[in-house]
Homo-oligomer: A and B are copies of this chain.
């Protein structure tokens, strides 16, 4: 019976989310910024979580999920994304409205209710933004992908996923009609922007946007 709490779940989720977009492990500072809390609080909590076997951490080093921590993190992410999907599909929320609500509900919903929601939604593999929803056993939908920002000229593939980190990027892509499923072809790459062919039109995207998009490899 490993110990847990809403606060610990938030740490786990944040550490995990970092690994989804970033290859190197998260540092305490980045973790503190992402959670909106003071670095000293992170030191303390990370120590507690390391003692509980959820993360590994050496002083002045980065924070990594252990196997147990990863399992927990996936469970939290599953909750979060299922709730978001449910809010959008059944409760009339727009995508950008769901985050705060899910943030709270993910700590409040029982396994029983989560299962009922999952069943109602038909056990979706991805949420409305293309983020993979871990299954109850921790397995994840995964297709080969590349960051649009890393794709070579000529590369073509459907959008799999869009980061919801930056609302401005979200709005831009929404306005351009680019969402999960949209097929993009990279026509030109420069330092600042990347140009793609999308639904017959050429679109110039800033680097921030290109780094927020996964396309099929």
Question: Chain B residues with Cβ under 8 A from A93's Cβ?
Answer: 116
A113 to B117 Cα, complex, angstroms: 15
A92 touches B107 (CB 8 A): no
CB distance from A83 to the nearest CB of B (A): 10
Interface flag for A168 (CB, 8 Å): no
B110 touches A101 (CB 8 A): yes
Question: Chain B residues with Cβ under 8 A from A113's Cβ?
Answer: 87, 91, 101
Question: Chain B residues with Cβ under 8 A from A116's Cβ?
Answer: 91-93
Partner of A105, one of B87, B100, B108: B108
CB distance from A151 to the nearest CB of B (A): 38
Residue of B nearest to A87 (CB): B113
Partner of A112, one of B101, B108, B109, B112: B101
Question: Chain B residues with Cβ under 8 A from A109's Cβ?
Answer: 101, 104-105
CB distance from A153 to the nearest CB of B (A): 45
A102 to B162 Cα, complex, angstroms: 34
Residue of B nearest to A97 (CB): B112
Q: Please report which residues of chain A, range 81-101, place their CB below 8 angstroms from some CB of chain B when the two chains form the complex.
A: 87, 91-93, 97, 100-101
CB distance from A55 to the nearest CB of B (A): 26
A87 to B110 Cα, complex, angstroms: 12
A108 to B110 Cα, complex, angstroms: 12
Interface residues of A (CB under 8 A from B): 87, 91-93, 97, 100-101, 104-105, 107-110, 112-113, 116-117, 120
Known: A105-B108, A105-B109. 11 other contacts (CB 8 A): A91-B116, A91-B120, A92-B116, A93-B116, A97-B112, A101-B112, A101-B113, A104-B108, A104-B109, A105-B105, A108-B108
What are 21 A-B residue pairs whose CB atoms fall within 8 Å in the complex? Answer: A87-B113, A91-B113, A91-B116, A91-B117, A91-B120, A92-B116, A93-B116, A97-B112, A100-B110, A101-B109, A101-B110, A101-B112, A101-B113, A104-B108, A104-B109, A104-B110, A105-B105, A105-B108, A105-B109, A107-B108, A108-B108
